[in-house]
């Protein structure tokens, strides 16, 4: 869906553009941001990517990551850029609150807000939106935006293709999830043709754990996993002390919840992490178990049907108990 075609004419002259994405960017958030960044730069625009936080070390190789501005380390510069932007791209989020400390700056900016995203229930803040909840990744939508909406497929360089490939790969769990359609594989083929070195990207993202991260994974599997067979559910609960003990940094917990889902028969997996100021929750499910409904109804969050997140402000054990008390409501679909 694209509304307001006439706005696209703005891109015909050099503009001041800021690209934003959600807090604690994942592979799709950073990949789509940098893919678009390279394209807009090549078109002659003045472009910056401004993030609300740092990003995981397994993404610290992506072309352009050194040029990214991290707001807390460049407050004045970021505020000036957002205040002076003609266009603020809003990538991989559909609610401004997901940009965390950047939210007031984006709201205050007089620039047009162009949202490109695949999350459900978009908030009404965008001047222009290219939004499709069926898309596998925002990086897929960036590819379509460049190639179909702007008719510029031939401008996709190897560095753009690399960023977009990484975004689609991470958001589809390496092309495993239900969102991985034939169309996604066609786009992936085109990205490889454009110069994305697929085997190198897999290597960079999946074979780049620190020793600590791997030991933390082993510790969590041994000590923090609880399987609840009567509801085909498995839960990880990670305390502040666990995080400190293994010096867990941004991105180290990425993918952990999938281990809970990989237990045979498990249809719903939850990961609770005590982030001090609040408990952060990640949910994953199989089939028609609505993770997003559970997060929206009970944990102040949302997301996709099979992958969602939220938060809560009670103690870790209380949040976990509250989650368990919700399971009977979903017993029928959890056990069918």
User: Could you list the residues that contact ligand 5GP (CB under 6 A)?
Assistant: 95, 119, 282, 301-304, 307-311
* Residue whose CB is less far from Mn ion, 22 or 213: 22
* Residue whose CB is less far from Mn ion, 19 or 234: 19
| Residue 282 binding partner per list Mn ion, ligand 5GP, none, with a CB distance cut-off of 5 to 8 Å that depends on partner kind | ligand 5GP
Q: Are 271 and 217 in contact (CB under 8 A)?
A: no
Return the DSSP state at 64.
T
* Residue whose CB is less far from ligand 5GP, 267 or 304: 304
Min CB(249)–ligand 5GP separation in Å: 16
Residue nearest to Mn ion (CB): 28
| Residue 304 binding partner per list Mn ion, ligand 5GP, none, with a CB distance cut-off of 5 to 8 Å that depends on partner kind | ligand 5GP
Residue nearest to ligand 5GP (CB): 309
Per-residue tokens: 11: 């891109």
Min CB(135)–Mn ion separation in Å: 9
**Number of CB atoms found within 10 A of residue 240's CB:** 12
Q: Are 128 and 2 in contact (CB under 8 A)?
A: yes
- SS3 of 270, please? strand
| Residue 149 binding partner per list ligand 5GP, Mn ion, none, with a CB distance cut-off of 5 to 8 Å that depends on partner kind | none
Among 19, 27, 28, 320, binds Mn ion (CB under 5 A): 28
Q: Are 139 and 90 in contact (CB under 8 A)?
A: no
Min CB(315)–ligand 5GP separation in Å: 19
* Spatial separation of the C-alpha atoms in residues 171 and 141, rounded to whole Å: 12
Min CB(224)–Mn ion separation in Å: 26
Q: Where are the alpha helices (DSSP H) in the chain?
A: 27-42, 75-84, 103-108, 138-144, 158-171, 182-193, 198-206, 211-223, 240-245, 256-261, 291-298, 316-326, 331-335
Min CB(296)–ligand 5GP separation in Å: 7
Does residue number 254 form part of the binding site for Mn ion (CB under 5 A)?
no
Backbone angles phi, psi at 159, to 5 degrees: -70, -40
Interior CA angle at 71 toward 68 and 72, to 5°?
A: 130
- SS3 of 51, please? strand
Site for Mn ion in 124-143 (CB under 5 A): 138
| Residue 56 binding partner per list Mn ion, ligand 5GP, none, with a CB distance cut-off of 5 to 8 Å that depends on partner kind | none
Binding pattern to Mn ion, positions 37-76, x when CB under 5 A? ----------------------------------------
* Spatial separation of the C-alpha atoms in residues 170 and 176, rounded to whole Å: 10
Residues in contact with Mn ion, total (CB under 5 A)? 4
Min CB(136)–Mn ion separation in Å: 8
Min CB(153)–ligand 5GP separation in Å: 27
| Residue of 95, 90, 185 whose CA lies nearest to 128 | 90
Site residues (CB under 5 A) for Mn ion? 28, 92, 138, 171
């Amino acid at each position: 869906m694209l509304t307001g075609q006439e706005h696209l004419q703005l891109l015909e002259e050099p503009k001041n553009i800021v690209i934003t994405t959600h807090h604690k960017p994942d592979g799709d958030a950073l990949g789509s941001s940098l893919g678009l960044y390279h394209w807009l730069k090549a078109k002659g625009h003045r472009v910056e990517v401004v993030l609300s936080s740092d990003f995981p070390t397994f993404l610290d190789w992506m072309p352009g990551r050194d040029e990214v501005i991290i707001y807390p380390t460049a407050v004045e510069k970021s505020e000036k850029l957002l205040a002076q932007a003609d266009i603020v791209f809003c990538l991989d989020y559909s609610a401004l609150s997901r940009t965390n400390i950047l939210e007031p700056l984006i709201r205050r900016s007089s620039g047009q807000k162009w949202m490109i995203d695949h999350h459900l229930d978009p908030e009404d803040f965008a001047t222009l939106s290219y939004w499709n909840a069926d898309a596998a990744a925002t990086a897929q939508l960036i590819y379509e935006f460049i190639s179909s909406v702007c008719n510029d497929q031939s401008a996709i360089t190897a560095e753009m293709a690399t960023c977009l490939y990484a975004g689609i790969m991470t958001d589809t769990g390496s092309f495993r999830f239900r969102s991985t359609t034939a169309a996604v594989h066609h786009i992936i083929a085109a990205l490889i043709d454009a110069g994305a070195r697929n085997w190198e990207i897999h290597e960079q993202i999946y074979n780049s754990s620190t020793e600590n991260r791997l030991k933390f994974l082993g510790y969590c599997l041994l000590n923090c996993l609880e399987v609840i067979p009567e509801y085909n559910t498995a839960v990880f609960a990670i305390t502040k002390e666990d995080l400190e003990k293994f010096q867990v940094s941004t991105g180290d917990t990425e993918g952990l919840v999938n281990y809970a889902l990989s237990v045979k028969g498990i249809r719903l997996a939850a990961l609770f992490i005590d982030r001090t100021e609040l408990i952060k929750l990640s949910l994953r499910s199989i089939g028609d178990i609505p993770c997003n409904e559970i997060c929206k109804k009970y944990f102040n969050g949302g997301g996709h049907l099979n992958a969602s997140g939220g938060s809560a402000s009670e103690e870790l054990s209380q949040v976990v108990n509250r989650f368990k008390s919700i399971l009977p409501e979903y017993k029928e679909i959890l056990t069918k």
